[in-house]
Chain A
Amino acid sequence: DQQVKQNSPSLSVQEGRISILNCDYTNSMFDYFLWYKKYPAEGPTFLISISSIKDKNEDGRFTVFLNKSAKHLSLHIVPSQPGDSAVYFCAASAVRGNEKLTFGTGTRLTIIP
């Protein structure tokens, strides 16, 4: 049972435009969410996180939005740059519950110059 879902395996975006990556979750106990970026042959790199007490968190070009009622989060990258081409994983954990991170299957983002 995939508790964290990234339904788009791939996404292509023109350089300079906005990239929007989506993630849905089913476990209502999740209260902490993270996005990771992964280049080939490297481990995932932490990008940005959000706690369930917030609905938005911004860090430079990266903004994460959380819609608790829809059990949906999204990562916005604006403007998109060629170096953003990577696989993006969203992850969730239940701090008060099982605690371990549950990851989505990833979305491959390709930025077209």
Chain B
Amino acid sequence: KAGVTQTPRYLIKTRGQQVTLSCSPISGHRSVSWYQQTPGQGLQFLFEYFSETQRNKGNFPGRFSGRQFSNSRSEMNVSTLELGDSALYLCASSLSWTGIGETQYFGPGTRLLVL
């Protein structure tokens, strides 16, 4: 069974631009979560989608948004990029929503560099 895939793997943008990252979960998984990883902050939760609905949201500004499609694929969008948005963005999928203790399986991440 194919794992979680994320595209693109690497991305360079400039301040003020916007970016869209894509995540395809493991087949059959209906929940997708997004995380930001930076050296100083570790892994921080952005949001979780289950059945096309946002179930949970972390403490990130409104510039960070996401959505999930009927095939469970998810996209994350960051508008008006700032230098501090440079990070590894990880997507994780699980069979159901993580509130019932479902194990998440992570993709390789998208490395975003904002110049």
Q: Do A and B come from one complex?
A: yes
Chain A residues within CB distance 8 Å of chain B: 32, 34, 36, 41-46, 49, 51, 89, 91, 93, 95, 98-106
B70 → chain A closest CB, angstroms: 23
Q: In the complex, A21 Cα to B43 Cα: how many Å?
A: 17
Partner of A98, one of B56, B90, B103: B56
Quick one: CB contact mask for B72-109 with A, threshold 8 Å, 1 for yes? 00000000000000000011100001111101111111
A35 → chain B closest CB, angstroms: 11
Interface contact B4-A99, CB-CB below 8 Å: no
Interface contact B101-A46, CB-CB below 8 Å: no
Of the four ranges (under 10, 10 to 19, 20 to 34, 35 or more), the interface on chain B belongs to 20 to 34
A67 → chain B closest CB, angstroms: 19
What are 19 A-B interface contacts by the 8 Å CB criterion? A42-B108, A42-B109, A43-B92, A43-B107, A43-B108, A45-B106, A46-B103, A49-B101, A51-B101, A93-B101, A95-B99, A95-B101, A99-B55, A100-B33, A100-B48, A100-B98, A101-B33, A101-B104, A103-B42
Decide if B51 is an interface residue (CB 8 Å cutoff).
Answer: no
Chain B residues within CB distance 8 Å of chain A: 4, 33, 35, 40-45, 48, 55-56, 58, 90-92, 97-101, 103-109
Contact partners of B42 in chain A: CB under 8 A:
89, 103-106
Interface contact A49-B103, CB-CB below 8 Å: yes
Interface contact A43-B98, CB-CB below 8 Å: no
Closest B residue to A102 by CB, please name it. B45
Contact partners of A49 in chain B: CB under 8 A:
101, 103
A37 → chain B closest CB, angstroms: 11
Contact partners of A46 in chain B: CB under 8 A:
103-105
Closest A residue to B109 by CB, please name it. A43
